[in-house]
């Protein structure tokens, strides 16, 4: 931690309905990626803080009013929480931008959309019904879904409030209690969100946020014996590790992990439309989304023409201050990620990929201090290169040519990931055939990066387990009890 942090705001964690300091009294700096300067101190939680939070959430589940509350009352609280988020959206967006450098305009829009998750799952809360079974024994047998207990949600830095809401809204609607652990670099918005919890009417201990490093407080949460569900969004390596830890106690787990998603452009596509989709898919959020369309597969007959259009369009993107509402591409969220992305650009060059655009810091005065990298386009990439196989999580696009749909499917599916895929064509039969054959949890046709609270989202292969959003999203947080009555 740098000198002079005494002047920075010292944030607190929210546990059991109270604002608490970390047990060991340690803090870590949270840095504004635009200025590269720290702006607040976040509690560096430890196993003792994890234990305190789990016990508070367990007490709220077992003894508090939450467990006994009629689901329609829980729904009213969730609904009210959504209204409060809407009323405070601009303030929450400003904090998120300061923490992760995402565009203010985009975050305002995103945070105004988040209340939909609380409203949607509020609507489902009192519609969770059981089943009477056609029993072959002299008995009445029925089953009913019940909550699991204490849930833990661990989220990354690219969209903290959105990603935590994808877990909290269904978990709470199902009657569980929850502890959220945001990423160490971006905890401030989740803590700010907790200022709305009491007004919404959540009883103490139902909704908690603890902060700090994954190893120091995340693992103690995951391994705590009173936790019954771990919902994780983050890298595949961390997800696989947490999966093995959760397995020791046979905990339920849902994992939303990394991707290397193909965006496939056929020659008959509306190429201008496809250019916009490809650019939004990889340079939106400065490439820091799990669904980034980082592999561009272009049919050979339009390859050169499409790349010309793509570069023209990319050149016009305004890079700079994320708080300026005109900016289209902001900085990378933190220094470590910045170094990692530059490292991948070097790797691509050394593997023989052709750098067509970008590749370094933009030569603009306002980009001098922050973690800026120009949108970067490579051509001549082969699918066996590291730049085509590993997740960069930055504004780096790898272009691979193909001749026919067979080859496109083969290249697209030749990946350990399977989160998303895009197809650009005016032939709807081809589009449907592609959607059947692509190994991905979401397939977008003539669009990209669409997500809704109504529609299941999740990964094939190493991109994850389980689904968030829609009715499937709440099933992750329920277990079935069968009851037999002798007749
Ligand atoms: P990360 O795996 O390093 O960290 C994610 C979270 O896990 C953070 O809160 C971190 O503190 C915590 N963590 C790290 N090590 C831990 C440990 N040992 N025990 C417990 N918690 C631990 O990921 P990141 O770099 O912050 O985020 C980028 C990754 O997230 C990318 O791979 C991206 O694809 C993925 N992501 C996936 C989705 C999705 O829905 N599939 C959405 C957004 C991001």
Closest to 206 (Cα-Cα) out of 178, 245, 236:
178
Taking phi over 0 as left and psi of -120 to 50 as alpha, with beta for the rest, 320 belongs to left
pLDDT tens string 402-437: 999 999 999 999 999 999 999 999 999 999 999 999
In this predicted structure, the answer to whether residue 1 has a pLDDT above a threshold of 70 is no
What six digits make up the tokens of 450? 């669409």
Q: Distances from the Cα of 376 to the Cαs of 276, 343, 365, in angstroms?
A: 15, 13, 19
pLDDT tens-digit readout, 367-391: 999 999 999 999 999 999 999 999 9
Query: Which residues is 378 bridged to in the sheet?
Result: 355, 398
Question: For residue 184, what are its two tokens?
Answer: 């160490």
Q: How confident is the model at residue 4 (pLDDT cuts 50, 70, 90)?
A: low
H helical segments located in 248-325: 271-283, 303-315
pLDDT tens digits along 232-287: 999 999 999 999 999 999 999 999 999 999 999 999 999 999 999 999 999 999 99
With CA atoms as reference, report the closest residue to 196 among 348, 406, 14, 430. 14
131 forms beta bridges with 143
Q: pLDDT class for 5, splitting at 50, 70, 90?
A: low
81, pLDDT greater than 50: yes
pLDDT band at residue 88 under the 50/70/90 scheme:
very high
> Is the distance from the beta carbon of residue 464 to the nearest atom of ligand 1 less than 6 Å?
yes
User: Mean pLDDT, to the nearest integer, of 64-82?
Assistant: 96
- Strands ordered across the beta sheet of 478-486: 131-133, 139-147, 478-486
Give the containing element (helix H, strand E) for 474: helix 470-475
Query: Has residue 7 got a pLDDT over 80?
Result: no
State if residue 341 touches ligand 1 by the CB under 6 angstroms criterion. Answer: no
| E-state strands within 291-367 | 295-299, 354-357
Alpha carbon nearest to ligand 1 atom 42, residue: 290
- Say how many Å lie between the CA of residue 290 and the centre of ligand 1: 10
Q: What is the pLDDT of residue 200?
A: 98
Atom of ligand 1 nearest to the CA of 213: 11
- Candidate from 234, 336, 418 with most ligand 1 atoms within 8 A of CB, to mutate: 234
**Quick one: CA dihedral 381, 303, 431, 433, positive or negative?**
negative
3-state secondary structure of 16: coil
Which residue from 155, 235, 239 has its CB within 8 A of the most atoms of ligand 1, so it is best to mutate? 235
Q: List the catalytic residues.
A: 256
Tell me whether strands 262-265 and 420-424 are parallel, antiparallel or unpaired: parallel
Please tell me the residue having the least CA distance from ligand 1 atom 21: 214
223 lines ligand 1 (CB under 6 A): no
> Nearest 10 degrees: CA dihedral of 213, 216, 218, 224?
-170
Question: In angstroms, what is the span from residue 156 Cα to ligand 1's centroid?
Answer: 4
Per-residue pLDDT band at 2 (split at 50, 70, 90): very low
Ligand 1 pocket member 156 (CB < 6 A): yes
Mean pLDDT of 20-34: 95
Burial 68-95 (b: 16+ CB within 10 A, else e): ebebeebbbbbbbbbebbbeebeebbbb
**Is the beta carbon of 181 within 6 A of some atom in ligand 1?**
yes
* pLDDT tens, position by position, 94-131: 999 999 899 999 999 999 999 999 999 999 999 999 99
Model confidence band, residue 67 (pLDDT cutoffs 50, 70, 90): confident
Looking from the CA of residue 463, the nearest atom of ligand 1 is: 41
Q: In a 10 Å sphere around its CB, with 0-12 CB exposed, 13-18 middle and 19+ buried, how is residue 316 labelled?
A: exposed
* Mean predicted confidence (pLDDT) in 18-39: 94
pLDDT band at 8 (very low <50, low <70, confident <90, very high): confident
pLDDT in tens, 304-348: 999 999 999 999 999 999 999 999 999 998 899 999 999 999 999
Q: What is the ipTM of this complex?
A: 0.95
Check if the beta carbon of residue 177 is closer than 8 Å to that of residue 206.
yes
pLDDT above 70 coverage of the chain, percent: 99
What is the pLDDT, as a whole number, of residue 6? 62
Would you state the pLDDT for residue 381? Answer: 98
pLDDT at 459 over 80: yes
Residue keyed to tokens 């970008």: 358
| Ligand 1 contacts CB of residue 257 (under 6 A) | yes
Mean pLDDT over the full length of the chain: 96
Centroid of chain to Cα 414: 24
pLDDT at residue 434, rounded to an integer: 98
For the cut 80, the answer to whether the pLDDT of residue 202 exceeds it is yes
216 touches ligand 1 (CB under 6 Å): no
157: CA distance to ligand 1 center in Å? 8
What's the chain's Rg over C-alpha atoms? 23
* Ligand 1 contact, 100 CB (< 6 A): no
């Amino acid at each position: 931690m740098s000198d002079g942090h005494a002047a920075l705001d010292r944030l607190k964690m929210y546990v059991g309905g109270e604002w608490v300091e970390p047990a060991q009294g340690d803090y870590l700096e949270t840095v504004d990626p635009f200025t590269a300067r720290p702006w607040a101190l976040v509690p560096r939680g430890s196993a003792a803080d994890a234990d305190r939070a789990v016990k508070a959430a367990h007490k709220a589940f077992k003894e508090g009013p939450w467990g006994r509350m009629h689901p329609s009352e829980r729904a009213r609280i969730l609904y009210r929480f959504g209204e409060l988020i809407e009323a405070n959206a601009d303030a929450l967006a400003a904090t998120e931008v300061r923490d992760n450098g995402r565009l203010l305009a985009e975050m305002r829009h995103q945070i105004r959309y988040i209340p939909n998750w609380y409203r949607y799952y509020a609507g489902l809360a009192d519609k969770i019904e059981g089943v009477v079974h056609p029993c072959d024994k002299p008995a009445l047998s029925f089953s009913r879904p019940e909550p699991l207990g204490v849930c833990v949600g661990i989220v990354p830095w690219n969209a903290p409030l959105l990603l935590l809401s994808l877990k909290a809204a269904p978990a709470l609607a199902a009657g569980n209690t929850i502890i959220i652990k945001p990423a160490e670099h971006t905890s401030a918005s989740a803590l700010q969100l907790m200022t709305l919890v009491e007004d919404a009417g959540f009883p103490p201990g139902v909704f908690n946020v603890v902060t700090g490093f994954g190893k120091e407080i995340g693992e103690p949460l995951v391994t705590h014996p009173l936790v019954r569900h771990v919902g994780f969004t983050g890298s595949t390596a961390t997800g696989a590790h947490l999966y093995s830890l959760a397995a020791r106690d046979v905990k339920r787990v849902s994992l939303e992990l990394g991707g290397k998603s193909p965006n496939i452009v056929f020659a008959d596509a509306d190429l201008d439309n496809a250019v916009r989709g490809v650019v939004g898919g990889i340079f939106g959020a400065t490439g820091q989304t799990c669904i980034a369309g980082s592999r561009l597969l272009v049919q050979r007959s339009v390859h050169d023409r499409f790349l010309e259009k793509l570069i023209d369009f990319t050149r016009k993107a305004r890079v700079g201050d994320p708080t300026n509402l005109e900016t289209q591409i902001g900085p990378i969220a933190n220094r470590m990620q910045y170094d990692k992305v530059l490292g991948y650009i070097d790797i691509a060059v050394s593997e023989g990929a052709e750098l067509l655009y970008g590749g370094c810091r933009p030569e603009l005065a306002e980009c001098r201090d922050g973690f800026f990298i120009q949108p970067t386009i490579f051509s001549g990439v082969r699918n066996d290169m590291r730049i085509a196989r590993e997740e960069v999580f930055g504004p780096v696009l790898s272009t691979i040519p193909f001749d026919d749909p067979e080859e496109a499917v083969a290249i697209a599916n030749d990946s350990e990931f399977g989160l998303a895929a895009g197809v650009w064509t005016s032939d709807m039969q081809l589009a449907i055939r592609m959607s059947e054959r692509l190994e991905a949890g979401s397939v977008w046709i003539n669009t990209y990066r669409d997500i809704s609270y109504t529609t299941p989202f999740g990964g094939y292969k190493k991109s994850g387990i389980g689904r968030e959003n829609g009715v499937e999203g709440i099933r992750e947080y329920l277990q079935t009890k069968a009851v037999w009555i002798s007749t």
